[in-house]
Structure 1
């Protein structure tokens, strides 16, 4: 295979020196780009407001004020909004799995009539900007078809629109396509129906992709802002992102930064803990025998 730099050049002392220098510089730039904003937010919350507004800004606080974090937790009543956000995120995750997994399984293995066209129509929705769907979705949840219910100020206003996620269905279908048909046919010969095959055979094999879809669903619900802002006019039922944005006018800047850091901690820990599962689920192209 031809590459920009030949293997012989890379094995030479000069080639090794250039390779590792470029690698170190690129790695340092990526680390700086991703880690520095976190460093700035964490240390900025521990500055007093006057120092935080100083120009030019200071890299580290001249006087450390770690008490900003408990102050932000208490003054912003973050415990309530953490609970609201947790209910929204867990519910959105459960509803998405309940809808997306059977839909992807049906499209992949049951092969309904016009299944490919249905999948194509689902994928077309990914081309639409999210803002274009706000008005029709809002009209729908304020007057739910058939039931006539109004879902404003209810977590179901988040759960139901998030249920049919075209991207997650596509990820799941692509993974289900790699499951050998002989394995499912053997289960059918043993008397298992489609539901039992899904529950006993497909789901245990699909843990990596289920982990990916779960994390994507939870993170999307946790960080969403525009839609929760529309469907939760009651301040007591708002999520973290909406509540912090509402309180930024009257809150000192250091406490606001502390609240943002605290709100992001669960998602950062979730990613760090499950990063191996995320990479495995996204890169698995086949099943090992």
Structure 2
């Protein structure tokens, strides 16, 4: 069965069709590259400019004054080491809670088949239709005075970790992948005497590394890029995340130093994507086929 394309092989074999194809291809690829990498280049290059060059109009494409000390100054003035440590601590904690609780929830819905499991999954997915900003006030009142325990979680890591666990999208991704694991494989382990917990630990988790990698990346990036919730719940400067700390200290900092700090804050997540981009795409499509 021949592959259907926008341009037929006969048209592509003609000189005019080949030229038109490569021109359109170059324009589309160049346009998308400029749209995605242009702001990134502007941010990195502006960190090397002096204050006057950053704010001048029209902006310069190549820095006329090369000042790499802006990055070291941003690191010291904004205490980025502490902010990076705080953010990494919150992100790894959220990752641990999500891997434990979200995997347990997805495994229960997929393989243990509880009563009203489909209704529970449907209600979980329905929460994705609610804008996140609508939930800010109820969540804030909850962490301000946790029911039953009567604890104030402000300025504690729990105020970041606990809300991040309730991630319906990650539970759905995990459940979809678990559904693709052959039932015969689990039945064979059950016949050999393995308990549901042993099956999860010895069979399901080892073959679920792609989707676990995707969920891990989503968990880390979700905490790393969040701004509104940490700003409301972490007023203590020593406990703030990277984004909130940079915002709090940006008042008396020159623009070029501020842009350098934002560049440093963007590097970890960019490296995370570049290193694991194949795992991200593989994990998202791995549960699409049975077997």
TM-score between the two structures when normalised by the length of structure 2: 0.96
Distance 2:252 2:88 in 1: 25
Q: CA deviation at 1:3?
A: 4.7
- Which residue number corresponds to residue 59 of structure 1? 61
- Which residue number corresponds to residue 46 of structure 1? 48
Q: 1:247 aligns with which of 224, 231, 249?
A: 249
Q: Which moved more, 1:195-204 or 1:1-10?
A: 1-10
Aligned pairs for 1:37-186 within 5 A: 37-186=39-188
Distance 1:53 1:13 in 2: 48
Aligned pairs for 1:221-260 within 5 A: 221-260=223-262
Q: CA deviation at 1:131?
A: 0.6
Matched, 1:209 2:183: no
Distance 1:14 1:219 in 2: 46
Q: CA deviation at 1:287?
A: 5.9
Distance 2:6 2:81 in 1: 54
- Which residue number corresponds to residue 16 of structure 1? 18
CA RMSD, 1 decimal: 1.2
Paired positions, count: 288
1:154-208 CA distance string (max 9 Å, x none): 0110100110200000111111111000000001011111111011000000000
Q: CA 1:3–1:42 in structure 2 vs 1: closer, same or farther (change >3 Å)? A: closer
1:40-60 CA distance string (max 9 Å, x none): 111101111111111111111
Matched, 1:286 2:275: no
Distance 1:189 1:39 in 2: 58
- Structure 1 residues without counterparts, runs of 5 or longer: none
Q: CA deviation at 1:260?
A: 0.3
